[in-house]
């Protein structure tokens, strides 16, 4: 079964150039947080596993033990395998839509509150992605080009969720 993993996200971020764990954390916060959030401890734990599996290597050690990691040939093969040979599965669960399905159990004010919460969430997501889009120094690299495509998907998806929540609120009796 296909699934995005922190492992593959880190391999992808190392395709263009080596980076430290701190650099990768900042890149996550500035680009992948809306797609695949990860904490500092998760990133460092996964970097250790990737190195043990020889998918990355420590390419440089700096002050205070700061390690810089580089993608190995085996890491590039693993990333390509994940991209090409594994197929995405359709998400099986959507708790928000399950709640909508049973809105009839609630009184009107509660139904409005549920839909308002969904609308607010979509607006916050969209505002965060718009801010991200403005804050990134886009260039001609593959990571930037395809990152922009992924961000555009997120912008369109959050806009659809916002539009749907507004429409659904209008449907309430």
Q: Quick one: what percent of the chain has pLDDT higher than 90?
A: 43
- Mean pLDDT over residues 6-28, rounded? 89
Q: Tell me how many domains the chain contains.
A: 2
Give all strands (DSSP E) within the chain, no chain letters: 19-20, 56-61, 67-71
In degrees rounded to 5, what are phi and psi of residue 44?
-65, -40
In a domain, 41, yes or no: yes
DSSP conformation class of 89: P
Question: Which is more confidently placed, 54 or 133?
Answer: 54
Return the bridge partners of 20, or none: 68
Q: Is 90 a member of any domain?
A: no
pTM, rounded to two decimals: 0.69
Answer whether residue 61 is part of any domain: yes
Residue 91 scores a pLDDT above 60: yes
User: Does residue 67 fall inside a structural domain?
Assistant: yes
**Helix 108-135, helix 142-171: angle, nearest 10:** 160
The DSSP call for residue 3 is -
pLDDT (tens digit per residue) in 41-63? 989 999 999 999 999 999 888 88
> Does residue 101 carry a pLDDT above 80?
yes
Shared-domain flag, residues 18 and 57: yes
Any bridge partners for residue 164, and if so which? none
11 and 65 inside one domain = yes
Give the end of a domain, one of 38, 56, 85: 85
Q: Which pLDDT band holds residue 154 (cuts at 50, 70, 90)? A: confident
Same domain as 157, residue 133: yes
Domain that holds residue 139: 95-171
- Which pairs with CB-CB distance under 8 Å and at least 24 residues apart come from 79-87? 79/8, 79/11, 79/12, 79/15, 82/2, 82/8, 82/11, 86/1, 86/2, 87/2
Angle at 141 between CA 36 and CA 66, to 5 degrees: 60
Sequence-distant (6+) residues with CB within 8 A of 135 are 30
Torsion angles phi and psi, residue 92, rounded to 5: -85, -25
């Amino acid at each position: 079964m296909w699934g995005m993993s922190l492992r593959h996200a880190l391999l992808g971020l190392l395709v263009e150039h080596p980076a430290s764990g701190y650099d990768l954390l900042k890149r996550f916060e500035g680009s992948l947080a809306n797609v695949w959030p990860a904490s500092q401890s998760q990133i460092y734990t996964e970097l250790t596993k990737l190195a043990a599996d020889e998918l990355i290597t420590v390419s440089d050690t700096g002050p205070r033990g700061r390690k810089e990691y580089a993608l190995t040939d085996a890491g590039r093969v693993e990333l390509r395998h994940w991209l090409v040979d594994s197929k995405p599965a359709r998400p099986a669960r959507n708790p928000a839509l399950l709640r909508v399905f049973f809105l009839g159990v609630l009184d009107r004010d509660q139904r409005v509150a549920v839909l308002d919460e969904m609308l607010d969430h979509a607006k916050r997501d969209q505002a965060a992605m718009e801010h991200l889009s403005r804050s990134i120094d886009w260039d001609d690299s593959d990571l930037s080009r395809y990152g922009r495509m992924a961000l555009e998907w997120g912008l369109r998806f959050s806009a659809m969720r916002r539009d749907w929540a507004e429409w659904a609120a209008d449907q309430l009796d």
